[in-house]
Amino acid sequence: MPRLFTGLEIPAEIGQTLSNLRGGLPGARWIDPENYHVTLRFIGDIDGVSANEIASMLFRVNRKPFEVKVQGLTSFGGRKPRAVVATIAPSKPLIELQAELERMMQRIGLNPEGRKFIPHVTLARLHDATDRDVADYLSLRGYFPSKAFMAERFVLFSSRASTGGGPYVVEDAYELCE
């Protein structure tokens, strides 16, 4: 039973820039750069029939390519930080694509996503990192010049339930066309 999600791939050159921010944070488990992505919609553990239905439905998305801007670092979790992430500017085309994918998943019977969509790239998952350690890390590495790329497709990823942070496999790709 595959665990699926839709997302945007991060180009290798931007992944390299982000991977240079690794290190210097106790309790961090750094994500490999080839597994960097922006999750659009987590789908979850799905049977094969549903996975095929989802994969074929995603071909109906008809949107134009758009710019994605990576613009700094932050953490999720507040006083109990659980991740260090690169923030993604929430542009109108990105928000609209995510909302369309959300509607599609609900139409086939999946529960609504419980969390607000906050576009980001997870760089590290944190275990026993203090909020002070994270604040110190972010003060040293949190600012970097914005990097942008054109999202020309989104993909359906699969992952193994037992591992957070990859490896992720591109099961199918859906072109964003002019």
Strands, sheet with 120-126, edge to edge from the N-terminal-most edge strand: 28-30, 120-126, 83-88, 66-76, 147-151
Provide CB contacts within 8 A for 35, sequence distance 6+.
165, 166, 167, 168
How far is the C-alpha of 112 from the C-alpha of 119, rounded, in Å?
17
DSSP state of 163: -
Q: What pLDDT, on a 0 to 100 scale, did the predictor assign at position 78? A: 86
Domains of the chain, residue spans:
3-175
Catalytic-labelled residue, pool 14, 25, 37, 39: 37
Q: Which of 3.40.1350.10, 1.10.760.10, 1.10.3720.10, 3.90.1140.10 would CATH assign to domain 3-175?
A: 3.90.1140.10
Residue 162 has pLDDT above 90, yes or no: no
pLDDT bucket at 143, cuts 50 / 70 / 90:
confident
120 assigned to active site: yes
136 token code pair: 């110190």
Q: Is 48 exposed, middle or buried (0-12, 13-18, 19+ CB in 10 A)?
A: exposed
How far is the C-alpha of 61 from the C-alpha of 119, rounded, in Å?
19
Catalytic-labelled residue, pool 25, 120, 137, 168: 120
pLDDT in tens, 96-135: 999 999 999 999 899 999 889 999 999 999 998 999 999 9
